[in-house]
Amino acid sequence: MPSTILDSAIFRDVFTTDAMRKVWSDETRVQKYLDFEAALARAQAKLKIIPKNAAAEIVKHCKADEYDFAELKTKTEKIGYPVLPVVQQLVKLCKNGLGEWSHWGATTQDITDTATILQIRDALDLIEADLKAICDNLARLAKRYRNTPMAGRSNLQQAVPITFGYKMATMLAAFERHRERLKQLRPRVEVGEFGGAAGTLSSLGKQGLKCQAALMKELKLGQPEISWHTVRDRIAEVGCFLGLVTGSCAKIAFDVKLMMQTEVEEVYEPFHEGRGSSSTMPQKRNPISSVYITAQSAVVKQHVAALLEAQVEDHERSTGPWEIEWIVLPEIFMLSAGALAQTKFLTAGLQVNEKKMRDNLGITKGLIVSEAVMMGLGPYLGRNYAHDLVYDICRQVVATGRPLNELLAENNEIVKHLSRKEIDALCDPANYLGVAGEMVDRAIKLRKK
């Protein structure tokens, strides 16, 4: 019976995706073990290390559906590792004793690590596709709302006007950086392992490196500079990368949750009937995807810490830290896939309330443009004096509730230099957007297709 969020019949497709679950399934992992064994047999046959007929027989039986998983479970519990039970079944499946040529010169960790890298490669293909889709969504939002003014916020207070397109473009740039990070890390991470007992390939003599190169060519993986049984930066790097990615997902989710508040109401998550409803308050429309993203990203970060702990391994083959990866790496990928799926859904159908954004710009009676007024007065009064003068007038706005532009127009020092029309223009948030639009254009232009 399923017992965790990731395999729950109810929650499984909320917190992860079926495609990512398959990558980390028992069936896929065992098939990756067998992909290694088949590739090793082919490579060694070409180098005349094992007979060609043995290689053909071994390759013939490297299909996971031929294997007894109940027996694998029993033997793994007895032996402590799953690879030897797979090899034992492979030997039995092969005719005329030819299976004895399987696993020639390899060790359990070679197969386990290389299988993990093969799974990572498949998983990163899924991550890459989701990153692109999210970038596409963010680019559309940035372009559509390039000139839509809204309040920029600092310490949860209104700061100066920005545009919603600018806000989305900042996240577009972040996700484009993630795409670039992924492109850069894949050659470093997608490297196989084949070193034998202590990494020196001593069982193959002088043919060790040739065999290693041929094996990696078969698997379409990079050949390691040197064995890495207990040097785990590759695995740690991909975990840290996913921590960064899900952190960006959580940033979007956090802002959406804040902007969905009743008092703000500037955006809403995609809606269908019943989504986000409360069991007791009929008026509620709760954030859903954003809430899941928050939880997923938080757990990913904690798991990444465990993955970093797994780097501290003893000597040439470790006693325990390695197994930390078995526990947390699949969950990091599955939760990351879930967070990306929710972010993709959210950004694809985000509902934007432009009127409410404009209305919220006015709730401070003009205080949000106080910097604009200060800078406008600076050339006439000096920046520091203009700052203090506008500060005092802002306090009057707070005390009286009267609009800033009216109080400015009543100040004798100000009206010497600015007409009412000029004061009103300074107090229009749409006139104080800086180069937000140009920044949006730049972020869109520089993104990779």
Q: Judge whether residue 199 has pLDDT over 70.
A: yes
Query: What's the pLDDT score for residue 123?
Result: 98
Could you tell me the pLDDT band of residue 277, with boundaries at 50, 70 and 90?
low
The torsion angle over the Cα atoms of residues 237, 242, 243 and 244, rounded to 10 degrees, is 90
Active-site pick, 203, 278, 419, 420: 278
Per DSSP, helices labelled H in 260-288 are none
Distance CA 373, CA 391 (A): 10
Q: In whole angstroms, how far apart are CA 274 and each of 188, 262, 348, 369?
A: 46, 18, 19, 40
Residues belonging to the chain? 449
Query: What's the pLDDT score for residue 319?
Result: 87
Q: Judge whether residue 276 has pLDDT over 60.
A: no
Q: Judge whether residue 274 has pLDDT over 70.
A: no
Q: Judge whether residue 122 has pLDDT over 80.
A: yes
Residues 6+ apart with CB under 8 A from 302: none
CATH 1.20.200.10 residue ranges for the chain: 117-192+228-357+435-449
Query: What's the pLDDT score for residue 295?
Result: 97
Distance CA 88, CA 43 (A): 21
CATH class, 117-192+228-357+435-449 region: mainly alpha
E strand or H helix at 49, and its extent?
none
| 277 is a catalytic site residue | no
CATH 1.10.40.30 residue ranges for the chain: 367-426
Could you tell me the pLDDT band of residue 3, with boundaries at 50, 70 and 90?
confident
Adjacent-strand bridge partners of 149: 163
Judge contact between 111 and 33, C-beta under 8 A: yes
pLDDT (average), residues 175-188: 97
Q: How far is CA 339 from the centre of its chain?
A: 7
pLDDT over 90, % of the chain? 92
Distance CA 337, CA 16 (A): 6
Could you tell me the pLDDT band of residue 283, with boundaries at 50, 70 and 90?
low
In tens, the pLDDT along 362-421 reads 999 999 999 999 999 999 999 999 999 999 999 999 999 999 999 999 999 999 999 999
- Comparing CA positions, the residue from 397, 378, 379, 398 lying closest to residue 388 is 378
pLDDT (average), residues 230-253: 97
Per DSSP, the residues of 149-183 read: EEEEEETTEEEEEEEHHHHHHHHHHHHHHHHHHHH
CATH class, 1-106+194-227 region: mainly alpha
Looking at residue 417, its amino acid is H
Active-site pick, 153, 181, 317, 402: 317
Distance CA 181, CA 335 (A): 19
Residue with tokens 């604009």: 372
Number of H helices, E strands in the chain: 19, 4
- Comparing CA positions, the residue from 393, 395, 417 lying closest to residue 406 is 393
Query: What's the pLDDT score for residue 1?
Result: 77
Distance CA 234, CA 372 (A): 50
pLDDT (average), residues 251-278: 87
| 140 is a catalytic site residue | no
Distance CA 25, CA 64 (A): 12
In tens, the pLDDT along 432-447 reads 999 999 999 999 999 8
Residue with tokens 């949000």: 368
Distance CA 370, CA 404 (A): 8
Query: What's the pLDDT score for residue 197?
Result: 92
Distance CA 278, CA 301 (A): 30
pLDDT (average), residues 94-101: 96
CATH 1.10.275.10 residue ranges for the chain: 1-106+194-227
Query: What's the pLDDT score for residue 424?
Result: 94
Q: Judge whether residue 273 has pLDDT over 90.
A: no
Q: Judge whether residue 278 has pLDDT over 70.
A: no
Domain 367-426 architecture: Orthogonal Bundle (1.10)
In tens, the pLDDT along 287-345 reads 999 999 999 999 999 999 999 999 999 998 888 899 999 999 999 999 999 999 999 99
Query: What's the pLDDT score for residue 218?
Result: 98
Using N-to-C axis directions, what is the helix angle for 436-446 and 164-189, rounded to 10°?
Answer: 30
pLDDT (average), residues 37-58: 97
